[in-house]
A and B are shown apart, each in its own frame.
Chain A
Amino acid sequence: QKEVEQNSGPLSVPEGAIASLNCTYSDRGSQSFFWYRQYSGKSPELIMSIYSNGDKEDGRFTAQLNKASQYVSLLIRDSQPSDSATYLCAVNMNAGGTSYGKLTFGQGTILTVHP
């Protein structure tokens, strides 16, 4: 069983629509959750972090976390062609109380926003 799973893509939405990206994780003790955006040939860029249940909004992005369901999502409102990228869900798995943590990534969802 994969530790972090993302909804299978690719996902294609029209410009101006809401893009919904989903992620589930297996470690119930996980405390930190992140969404990275990665353009082709570039490195991952952190766009959202969320640590507690509920919603967190930042501009057009909203992250949602439900620890009971072990589920985290990312909504992109008013999607733009520049949002076309691979979105990686990352979970900071419990590393035995260490100081550094360890990110486990999902396989990524390719998002295409078409004009």
Chain B
Amino acid sequence: DTEVTQTPKHLVMGMTNKKSLKCEQHMGHRAMYWYKQKAKKPPELMFVYSYEKLSINESVPSRFSPECPNSSLLNLHLHALQPEDSALYLCASRQPGGGEQFFGPGTRLTVL
């Protein structure tokens, strides 16, 4: 089973709202990733968790706050976002040490 799930599929929020994106995988992968993708651009790495510890933060603004409660779950907490943060947010996972990275279906976020 090479499935990564993400909820919600779509999210519309105001600039003062607090919301969370969720990602789950049951492939036993211990590396999990958050990407942001704008239209007609490749995915842009935001965060990497390895063995539930934050390993990479690609200088992402603090209004994005990641969390990895356990080896299967990854959250992205959103607060005080800007309209330019509207994008497709993708979660991915892979085995540590190498191998293929699998993406979830993404959450389409719109910030009003």
Contact = CB atoms under 8 A, between A and B. Distances in A.
Q: Do A and B interact with each other, yes or no?
A: yes
Interface of A: 31-32, 34, 36, 42-46, 49, 88, 90, 92, 98-103, 105-108
Given A42-B105, A43-B106, A99-B31, 16 more contacts: A34-B100, A43-B105, A49-B100, A88-B42, A90-B101, A98-B50, A98-B55, A99-B97, A100-B31, A100-B55, A100-B94, A101-B31, A101-B98, A105-B43, A106-B42, A107-B41
Contacts of A98: 50, 55
Contacts of A44: 43, 90, 103
Interface of B: 30-31, 40-43, 45, 48, 50-51, 55-56, 88, 90, 94, 96-106
B98 A43 contact: no
Contacts of A101: 31, 94, 98, 101
A100 B48 contact: yes
Contacts of A43: 88, 90, 103-106
| Pairs of residues from A and B, 4 with the lowest C-beta to C-beta distance, nearest first | A105-B42, A99-B96, A100-B31, A100-B50
Contacts of B101: 34, 46, 90, 101, 103
B108 to A, nearest CB: 8
Contact of A99 (B40, B41, B51, B100): B51
Nearest to A107: B42
A85 B104 CA distance: 18
18 contacts: A34-B101, A42-B105, A43-B104, A46-B101, A46-B103, A49-B100, A88-B42, A90-B101, A98-B50, A99-B97, A100-B48, A100-B55, A100-B94, A102-B45, A102-B48, A103-B43, A107-B41, A107-B42
